[in-house]
Amino acid sequence: LEALGRSSEVFQWRPFGANTNDMVMTINVLVRAAAQLQQQQTGALIVIECNTGLQEYADRGVILDARLSVPLLLNIFFLNSPLHDLAVIIRGGRILAANAVLPLSENVVGTPRYGSRHRAALGVSEQSDAIALVVSEESGSISVATNGRMVRHLSETRLRKLLAELLNVTLEEPT
């Protein structure tokens, strides 16, 4: 079943074989957008497609195929905008789709009370190798879900380092 969800080799973004500069740019854009959404206490769910294709979920949303940028992410997640409630899917430094419905995790026993964004982040990370970035609407806290686990309360620095580690990218230290 997993093979059915895989994208074609031509369009599939593979973090470990992708251009490092593009991956660094993607990380920087996501960190800046998450920081601004956190300041505004605006909820967001951004999913980075890795090797397991997410086309099935993208097809249920609104296909954008747009260049990834901070202003576009802020506009998508602007409160009461038509696309703000569900997930954005990133593929290869581009926003593949917005308003995408993701599976909700049922594996939340013994964890803090998660809202639907966090449960969807966990759900997609349980069913694929995707990396899900969540900004909580209630607390403004930034979290990342991968492999069915959630890392919470991330600062910009910790988020940047975690994304670089998960995507196997070496970031230059600021001088």
Residue 67 buriedness (CB in 10 A; 0-12 / 13-18 / 19+):
exposed
Cα 155 to Cα 38: distance, rounded to the nearest angstrom = 10
Residue 159: what pLDDT? 98
pLDDT on residue 18:
61
**pTM of the predicted protein model:** 0.87
Q: Taking the mean position of all CA atoms in its chain, how far away is CA 12?
A: 16
- Rounded CA-CA distance 131/5 in Å is 16
Q: Which residue has the tokens 């070496």?
A: 170
For residue 50, what are its two tokens? Answer: 């890795």
Question: How high is the pLDDT of residue 15?
Answer: 47
CA–CA gap between residue 134 and residue 111 (Å, rounded): 16
Name the 3-class secondary structure at 133: strand
Which amino acid, 6?
Answer: R
Tell which residue, 88, 149, 90, 163, has the closest CA to residue 118.
149
The whole-number pLDDT of residue 104 equals 93
Query: Which residues 6+ apart lie within 8 Å of 54 measured at CB?
Result: 5, 7, 47, 89, 91, 96, 100, 124, 128, 130
| 105 vs 122: CA distance, rounded Å | 6
pLDDT in tens, the chain (175 residues): 444 444 444 333 444 346 788 899 999 999 999 999 999 999 999 999 999 999 999 999 999 999 999 999 999 999 888 888 899 999 989 999 999 999 999 886 655 678 899 999 999 999 999 999 999 999 899 999 999 999 999 999 999 999 999 999 988 765 5
